[in-house]
Structure 1
Amino acid sequence: MKSTKVILCVLALSLFACNSDDGNAPLENEAKLIIKLNFDANQTRLNNLGQPATIPAGNATQTPNIRQMSANYIEFAPNATSLLGQGEIIYEGPETNAGGDLAIDFQQAILAGQDDTFLEVPLSSVSAGNYDWVRVSLSYQEGDIMIRQSNTDITATLASFLGYNNYITSFDLNGNTFNVNDDVLQGFWAVEAFGFTAQGQAPEGATTVPNPLFDTSPVPQGSCVVTGQFENGLSISGDETEDVVVTLSFSINNSFEWTEVNSDGKFEPSAGEQVVDMGLRGLIPLVGN
């Protein structure tokens, strides 16, 4: 009789363990789609049409050292005529109306650094198919730039908000807190260097958003949806037993641009030089580790 009770207890515990499992959680050994980020200073510098870009007269540029970045939308597109939103949407970030209009919720942003994993999702949640393009709506980037301050070149930390609209309560740069508590449009930026701080707003529409599919599949102005093509495509069969890794390689080649007051190729915010562009200058999606 005692052994029968023990067996019943074991069965009850087993059933409880099974029933308490989260049915939406990925299985431990389930294959995943892993999205990583890479920032390449040598990748071709492109314009909005996905063509090699020159630097306008009166402007100067530098290549920042990007330390972390965030995106609020990732989509795989089957072909060059796939309109934005009609492909396989892999990720959509949190949004809020707290600032009055619909905006990206910066306080909930996922941040990832060089070669770090930005996102993992079960491959079973990705529709089987062949994808030639990826579209990524970038929302934020942070890194180091050189600025000229009091006739001295110093390293400053740059925060740049690339999303169509961004709700920010506050953000921190090197221990200095920037309180916003409002929406800011694409192109809002701030720098900090040894206690010196500055912030501003790039002109509307000035942020470069490379889209080689401009003629067949345009994106809304201000959306910062950067488009890139897989060299050999991406094929998802639905029967994968191993993880699929996609690295999103972004061009940061002279991606920080400003209008010069002093024509010396140095960014001098205290002299009234204004940021005009902080956009990423191209996207190459790479499949594999």
Structure 2
Amino acid sequence: MKPNRILLLLCFVACFACSEDQDDNPQPNLIIKLNFDANQVRLDNLGQPATIPDGNAAQSPTIQRMSANYIELAPTATTLLGQGEVIFEGAETNAGGDMAIDFQQAIFAGDDEVFLSIPLSQVQAGSYNWVRVSLAYQEGDIQVLTDNVGEVTGRLASFVGYNNYITDFDLNGSTITVNDDVLQGFWAFEALGFTVQGQAPEGATTVPNPLFDTSPVPQGSCVVTGQFENEFTITGNENQDVTVTLSFSINNSFEWTEVNADGKYEPTAGEQVVDMGLRGLIPSVSN
């Protein structure tokens, strides 16, 4: 065999071996999964257990998908918002006039689905006790009592981000056109092919933050804060994926004012949506 052919063969074998080594040693990822739990404790804005106020009623929706716009790992209870390890920031735009979450570029995930996967090498090594998640959107099924049909299942879209730029979106097969910014609390509902839109009162969306005294978040930001049961440590020497599951409480998270005191949501009776905020966050780690 000619020398140049031998050299070519050796290069091919070396490249193949290198490829084999890379396949045998894949880079580990930090995987973020979402979970929605109707039995998880129901919290208020201060992270304390909360009951349903007199004159209101609530139900636990069945979440189909959710989007977040910001995820941060925080080492301590005094770490201010933005000073921890920011591992995700969603797209924003000023197409509607003010800076807003760009809904058209949002990332979504459903129950027990992966929302984000990034190389662990991109995450600062360290120990973290808290996680902050700025929620942007949630979509789920709720029960509605109507005059003509009785109780039906409808699909609710809840925009809980600080400000949201929307062109249009599909809600259970119906197209909702906005072409503008909408503030936190904007919602749309679909049932039996009919749609309706509304706006919850300003500041009414619950955003649990147990660190309210030491690390507050801006009003309307929808940054939900949760504590790891045990300190979450990234050494920088991990050789396998690490999964963080963000478990959100949907325990009676859809709340409205009662006109007929029957515990049924009846929009045709004038009952108004007052709160769509998730009711707590518990993060957990697995390998």
Q: Decide: shared fold, TM above 0.5.
A: yes
Match in the other structure for 1:118: 115
- Deviation string 1:180-225 (CA, Å, 9 cap, x unpaired) is 0100000001110112211100001000000000000000000000
Contact preservation (8 Å) 1:198, 1:269: no
Aligned residue-pair number: 281
Residue 85 of structure 2 is matched in structure 1 by: 88
- Quote how far apart the aligned CAs of 1:7 are: 4.1
Q: Hey, what's the Cα distance between the residues in 1 that align with 2:202 and 2:84?
A: 28
Tell me the residue number matched to 1:35.
32
Q: Please, which runs of 5 or more residues in structure 2 have no aligned partner? A: 19-23
Give 1:264 deviation, angstroms: 1.7
Give the distance between the partners of 2:5 and 2:236, measured in 1 at CA. 44
In structure 2, the partner of 1:153 is 151
Aligned with 1:141 (options 120, 138, 143): 138
> What pairs with 1:143-182 in structure 2 (closer than 5 Å)?
143-151=140-148, 152-182=150-180
Superimposed CA distance per residue, residues 143-190 of structure 1 (whole angstroms, 9 cap, x where no aligned partner): 100011125000000100010000001111121100001000000011
Q: Residue in 2 aligned with 1:246?
A: 244
Q: Which moved more, 1:44-53 or 1:254-263?
A: 254-263
**In the TM superposition, what is the alpha-carbon distance from 1:270 to its structure 2 partner?**
2.1
Bigger mean CA deviation after superposition, 249-258 or 265-274: 265-274
Equivalent residue in structure 1 for 2:105, among 101, 104, 108: 108
What code does the residue aligned with 2:123 have?
V
CA distance in 2: counterparts of 1:195 and 1:126, whole angstroms: 45
Match of 2:275 among 272, 277, 280: 277
Q: Deviation per CA, 1:32-91: give whole Å up to 9, x if none.
A: 100000000000000000000011111110000001101000000000000000000010
Q: Normalising by structure 2, report the TM-score.
A: 0.92
- Cα separation, 1, equivalents of 2:3 and 2:164: 63
CA distance in 2, matches of 1:98, 1:7: 58
1:199-238 correspondence to structure 2 within 5 Å: 199-238=197-236
Query: Which amino acid letter does the alignment assign opposite residue 178 of structure 1?
Result: I
In structure 1, the residue matched to 2:60 is 63
Deviation per CA, 1:88-143: give whole Å up to 9, x if none.
00100000111111000111111101110000011011011000000000000011
Give a deviation string over 1:241-285, Cα, whole Å, max 9, x none: 011110000000000001122222111122221111000000000
Distance in 2 separating the partners of 1:187 and 1:136: 17
Does the 8 Å contact 1:144/1:157 carry over to 2? yes
Q: Give the structure 1 partner of residue 4 of structure 2.
A: 4
Distance in 1 (alpha carbons) for counterparts of 2:236 and 2:279: 33
Between the aligned partners of 1:138 and 1:239, the Cα distance in structure 2 is 31
1:183-194 residue pairs with structure 2 within 5 A? 183-194=181-192
Cα pair 1:166 1:183 within 8 Å, conserved: yes
Runs of 4+ in 1 over 6 A off after TM superposition: none
SS in structure 2 of the partner of residue 57 of structure 1? coil
Please name the residue that 1:44 is paired with.
41
| Cα separation, 2, equivalents of 1:71 and 1:247 | 14
CA deviation after TM superposition for structure 1 residue 9, in Å: 9.6
TM-score normalised over the length of structure 1? 0.92
Measure how far apart 1:3 and its partner are: 5.2
**Structure 1 counterpart of 2:174, which letter?**
N
Kept in 2, the 8 Å contact 1:47–1:281? The answer is: yes
Q: Is 1:75–2:72 an aligned residue pair?
A: yes
Return the letter of the residue paired with 2:270: G
Taking the aligned partners of 1:199 and 1:269, their CA distance within structure 2 comes to 11
The whole-number CA distance in structure 2 between the counterparts of 1:263 and 1:10 is 81
Query: CA separation of 1:67/1:2 partners in 2, compared to 1, >3 Å: closer, same or farther?
Result: same
The gaps in structure 1 that reach 5 residues or longer are 19-26
